């Protein structure tokens, strides 16, 4: 067991740093790696013992860490997260998950609620496809066009997808996001996007029993504001902060506003 867990943290490029005693776990979203937290990490490191890692398929070891069967559902990523927490002997943590990592953390917290003191979910969505009475933001044809574009010419797809998702004219962030996408093997990126965009974990949202703070930008091409309101109602006691900003990556494009929210939501209990 010990060997498995050590390999998990190392394989996923695990990093641990910070001066605080409580533990914060930072988990990034699709198309980025743990470097996405660079602007916010100093704030966390002053207050927390910070753990970060690269999701399967991402970062310098992405090809080694990705398993098409295990990571064909978000549950496989949740299992990775739990393996890392166990290997690092985490008894309780503040979990911060962006995009797909929002639901990854939610699934992990349902399986092992004692490990999660609270969660901050940024741009999270339980379902991306529209449904009766539910606005996910995408129709089936939208997703098929996305998958076809990825398959036909991955580099051209990244060139169009990155600025659209970043949502603001921030050349540095667009370049960082594009480069992280280019580092993903195209077939892994395609399969990951299929896993994300065809997932539906709405039925599990009500099972989340830990305190949840949702953060959402007012304009997000990937996740409509309606989704964050749906989650806020589905998860008992959840709070929601809507940032007056555009784009799906506020931790990269609006770090000052994110810091303000983190200060308000987390700093009272971070010691």
Catalytically annotated residue among 52, 220, 228, 241: 220
- CB 122, CB 215: distance < 8 Å: yes
Q: Is 28 a catalytic residue?
A: no
Q: Is 248 a catalytic residue?
A: yes
CA distances from 240 to 33, 130, 142 (A): 25, 21, 28
Q: Which are the contacts of 40, defined by CB distance < 8 A and separation ≥ 6?
A: 26, 251, 255, 258, 259, 262
Distance CA 43, CA 55 (A): 22
Q: Which are the contacts of 172, defined by CB distance < 8 A and separation ≥ 6?
A: none
Q: Is 67 a catalytic residue?
A: no
DSSP string covering 128-145: -B-BTTB--SB-HHHHHH
Which helix (DSSP H) or strand (DSSP E) does residue 178 occupy? helix 171-183
Catalytically annotated residue among 28, 71, 213, 248: 248
Distance CA 109, CA 160 (A): 35
Catalytically annotated residue among 52, 99, 109, 178: 99
Catalytic residues: 99, 220, 248
């Amino acid at each position: 067991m010990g060997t498995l867990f050590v390999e998990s943290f190392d394989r996923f490029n695990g990093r641990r740093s910070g001066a605080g005693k409580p533990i914060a776990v930072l988990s990034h979203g699709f198309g980025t790696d743990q470097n996405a937290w660079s602007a916010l990490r100093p704030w966390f490191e002053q207050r927390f013992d910070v753990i970060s890692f690269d999701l399967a398929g991402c970062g310098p070891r992405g090809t080694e860490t990705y398993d098409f069967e295990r990571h064909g559902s978000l549950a496989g990523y949740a299992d990775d997260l739990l393996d890392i927490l166990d290997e690092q002997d985490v008894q309780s943590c503040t979990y911060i998950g962006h995009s797909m990592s929002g639901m990854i953390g939610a699934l992990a917290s349902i399986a092992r609620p004692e490990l999660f003191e609270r969660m901050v979910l940024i741009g999270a969505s339980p379902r991306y496809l529209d449904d009766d009475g539910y606005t996910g933001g995408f129709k089936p044809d939208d997703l098929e066009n996305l998958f076809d574009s990825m398959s036909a010419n991955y580099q051209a797809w990244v060139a169009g997808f990155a600025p659209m998702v970043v949502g603001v004219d921030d050349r540095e962030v667009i370049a960082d996001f594009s480069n992280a996408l280019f580092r993903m093997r195209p077939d892994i990126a395609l399969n990951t996007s299929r896993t994300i965009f065809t997932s539906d974990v709405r039925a599990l949202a009500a099972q989340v029993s830990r305190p949840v703070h949702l953060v959402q930008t007012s304009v997000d091409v990937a996740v409509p504001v309606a989704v964050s309101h749906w989650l806020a109602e589905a998860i008992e006691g959840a709070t929601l902060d809507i940032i007056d900003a555009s784009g799906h990556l506020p931790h990269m494009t609006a770090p000052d506003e994110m810091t303000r929210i983190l200060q308000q939501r987390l700093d009272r209990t971070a010691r």
